[in-house]
Amino acid sequence: MTKRWIDITQPFQNTIATWPGDTPFHFELAFTKEQTGSVNIGRFTTSTHTGTHADAPYHFDVNAPTIEQLDVNIYIGEALVIDLSDKTEICRGDLEEINFYGVSRVLFKLHSIVDTQRFPNRVPVIHPEIAAFLHEKGIRLIGVDCPSVDALESKSLDTHHALYRHGIHIIENLMLEQVLPGLYDFIGIPLKIVGADGAPVRAVIRKIEDEGSI
């Protein structure tokens, strides 16, 4: 029996949480079928960092690639979901005993519950030191279920920069509440927006096999 794909994307809706001060998401019908005589036509506005999205390195480094310049293969392939929702800080020591099964993508479940309509006051601290360790393990994509891999008040974005220096790209605001740890097929391709610092992602996973608790 073919295993089903699981959607781990935050749904865009007019009540979705947005970074304080950033452009809120808004969708509306620009023209109705009644007006056009044939079709409904919608329009929306959004920040590139609302909902499930990929950060381009250009987001935090003006000399780095924009989103359309990144290889789509980064965002397709096997991924390991790791449950760290019992921790408030993530350090190298939290990862050293984990079997990464040779994958090049990790998805960190950092929360047991995510409220997509309320922007969090804080997120777990992901220490920059994990970047070198993940690079040693062959990781080139990290996904998290929160708005940032750095503290929300950070201006230096040390973890963003450390990950990029080690060739690791970032997806934020995944939905992993109902996802068990283990190995999955993963697809999470960002929209191809020329010159953009990031882009919305439709992320899905499909269980490969039961590896038990990780």
Q: Which two tokens stand for residue 121?
A: 């006051």
Here the CATH number for the domain that contains residue 54 is 3.50.30.50
Q: Which two tokens stand for residue 194?
A: 């020329």
CB 136 within 8 A of CB 166: no
Predicted pLDDT of residue 1: 59
Predicted pLDDT of residue 212: 47
- 17 within domain boundaries: no
Based on the structure, what is the number of domains in the chain? 1
- 21 within domain boundaries: no
Predicted pLDDT of residue 210: 56
Digit-coded pLDDT (tens) for 37-62? 999 999 999 999 999 999 999 999 99
- 25 within domain boundaries: no
pTM comes to 0.95
Q: Could you read off the pLDDT tens digit of each residue along the chain, which spans 214 residues?
A: 578 999 999 999 999 999 999 999 999 999 999 999 999 999 999 999 999 999 999 999 999 999 999 999 999 999 999 999 999 999 999 999 999 999 999 999 999 999 999 999 999 999 999 999 999 999 999 999 999 999 999 999 999 999 999 999 999 999 999 999 999 999 999 999 999 999 999 999 999 975 544 4
- 19 within domain boundaries: no
Catalytic residue among 49, 53, 59, 111: 59
53 given a catalytic annotation: no
Predicted pLDDT of residue 214: 43
Task: Supply the range of the domain harboring residue 165.
Answer: 48-209
Digit-coded pLDDT (tens) for 145-165? 999 999 999 999 999 999 999
Closest CA to 167 of 141, 201, 130, 203: 141
Which residues, 6 or more positions from 173, have their beta carbon under 8 angstroms from its beta carbon?
10, 51, 52, 53, 144, 145, 146, 147
Identify each DSSP E strand in 26-74 by its residue range: 26-31, 41-45, 53-55
